[in-house]
Amino acid sequence: MKFEQLPNEILFQCFEYLNVFDIFYSFDRLNYRLNRLIRNISLHLNLPEKNKPLFGEFFHKILLNSRIRNQIISLKVSIKRTCCQLNAFLSFFSFIQFSQLQLLTIADLNQTNSEEKKSILLLLSNFLNIYSNDMADEICEILSKLLLPNIQMKLTFNSITNYITIPITSLTFYQYSLNDLWQLFKYIPMLKYLHLETLDNCSYINNRLDPADIYAFHLQQLAVDYSKCSFETYRLLLKQTPNLKILTINIEYQTDIIDDVRWQNLIESSLQHLDIFNFIFVIRIDDIILTKVHQFQNDFWHKYHHWYVNYEFNSMHAIFYTIPYMKNEYSLKPNMKRSDGFKLMNNSKVFKNVTGLFLFVDILNEHYEYYFQNITSLTLYQDSMLFKELDFHQRQQENKFVESLQITVNLSNLKHLNIKNTCHIISSTMLLQILKKAPKLSSIAIEKSALISFVINNELCQYFNQMIKKLDIRSYSKDKFIQFIKLNKLCKILLNIEELQCCIEQTDVFLFIINHMPKLKDLKIDSWYAFRQKTCAWLKMTASQLNIKCTVVGYCYL
């Protein structure tokens, strides 16, 4: 079937993977049907750092055609990297002309001077997102004069000192302390959603502020990605949020946090509207913790709130978490013990949020009831502390491995596989079986030497060429660089690779790769002093002549 014969629904999905410039450059005026289709989709405009000709061509299209302007629902720009394009854009357009624009993302705002900040910020009266790198007083002063009831900001910490009130309802901060939160609640009283990437464990309290008089009455959702704060810190914080409905927290290495009675008292006294409580508590294991393994298992949690808590522990750590597990990544290690409360929910729902799994293959010989339904990224490890080598090299054991893997992981959604740590036990036959069971797999991270040894398996090469578009063969071993004499073997299974990450120290290897990989679009090179700065610039320029984006990671010497 030809591309133009695909149904509209499939074409719409294809367009989602393309940027707006490529869509119009490739399909505009190609034929009547495609011309209509691209004028009936939502567009996300990301001002490019490069490719200025495409930007100029599209710029004139939206200048002349208001219908295309109305297709744009989001605009993203980096002040630092695309200032020229933004200035050109703003010299011809006002944001009012984009009637459907819902999301404006501005990065690197702190790279501009005060006047530029002011002129940019004054354009933001109706948009939902600003991504800034600071919250200096001058920005607060500007924002306080704007009517921004729906604005969401993502900011790094810089304390607010001016006595101003900012009408913002949604905020994301990189790092904050309890003292900063008192100020936040005082100056942004309409806040409904607060996301803290890190909550500092700081005991300092500003004497000028009395927390007893500062309440976040409108706050309904609070999320803390990471903290090492004690229960007392959270008690002080949550007493000021009486209308909170959703609480999501991740706390590590605070033993007093494992106390279901104290949490129950706090919730009953200060959080009477709390509907959803998601948490992960990680603590070091000791005799005291072992006596608390049945915490959070009474009627208050199960019967009255339908909050189910599981715990797991090994010889070093214990983890208590609400079901379903709230993070999108999980590490499944051997010798873990878990609670019977795990059985209170359908097994497939416990880890329904997890899309990235770090799996220690040693557990495949153990009998766990874990099941991961929605995994898109899988990294296989072997626990070196167990001092045992798994014998997978006989066909019977190889088949058993893949069968055990399928019992734990649904491979049908898998897109990325990392086997760098287990190449010594994963044979070509086993990798082939995984490819057959994972139809969506398109990305692999593997040791270079292992990949070269797999070339002798013709059926594996065939599947590899059909499925894999992204390959990572970077290594930190002594034999990390690709040798020219091995390139012929390696390129046998690189014919359809579009993205390659590797270690190169010779320019002839580089030239061979870019000239023998016809579909390569993105090349990332780990050099680490292998090239001079002038050579690095030459690599990038040479690759760009073949429409290949080349990035050199590491250090280039003078």
CA distances 22 to 45, 215, 274, Å, are 11, 49, 47
Could you tell me where the beta strands, DSSP code E, fall in 308-409?
308-313, 317-323, 329-332, 337-338, 356-360, 377-381
Amino acid sitting at position 327:
K
Indicate left, alpha or beta for 547 from its phi (over 0: left) and psi (-120 to 50: alpha).
Answer: left
pLDDT tens for the chain, 558 residues long, are 677 777 777 777 777 777 777 787 778 777 878 888 888 888 887 765 555 566 666 766 776 677 787 888 777 766 655 555 566 666 666 666 777 776 766 666 555 565 665 555 555 544 444 444 444 445 555 454 444 444 444 443 344 444 445 567 777 777 778 877 887 787 778 889 998 888 887 654 544 445 666 888 999 999 999 998 989 989 989 999 999 999 999 999 888 898 899 999 999 999 999 999 999 999 888 756 667 777 888 899 999 999 999 888 877 888 999 999 999 999 988 777 776 554 555 666 889 999 999 998 877 766 567 889 999 999 998 865 443 444 544 445 666 888 889 989 999 999 999 999 888 888 889 999 999 999 999 999 998 888 888 888 999 999 999 999 999 998 877 677 777 777 777 877 888 999 999 888 888 889 989 988 899 999 998 876 667 778 888 888 899 889 999 888 776 555
Is the peptide bond preceding residue 324 cis, with omega within 30 degrees of 0? yes
**Assigned token pair, 154:** 């993502």
- Using DSSP's 3-state secondary structure scheme, residue 536 falls into helix
**pTM attached to this predicted model:** 0.70
Whole-number Å distance between alpha carbons of 141 and 163: 9
Q: Of how many residues is the chain composed?
A: 558
CA distances 274 to 134, 219, 221, 222, 277, Å, are 32, 11, 9, 11, 7
- Using DSSP's 3-state secondary structure scheme, residue 10 falls into helix
Helix spans in 201-286 (H)? 231-238, 260-270
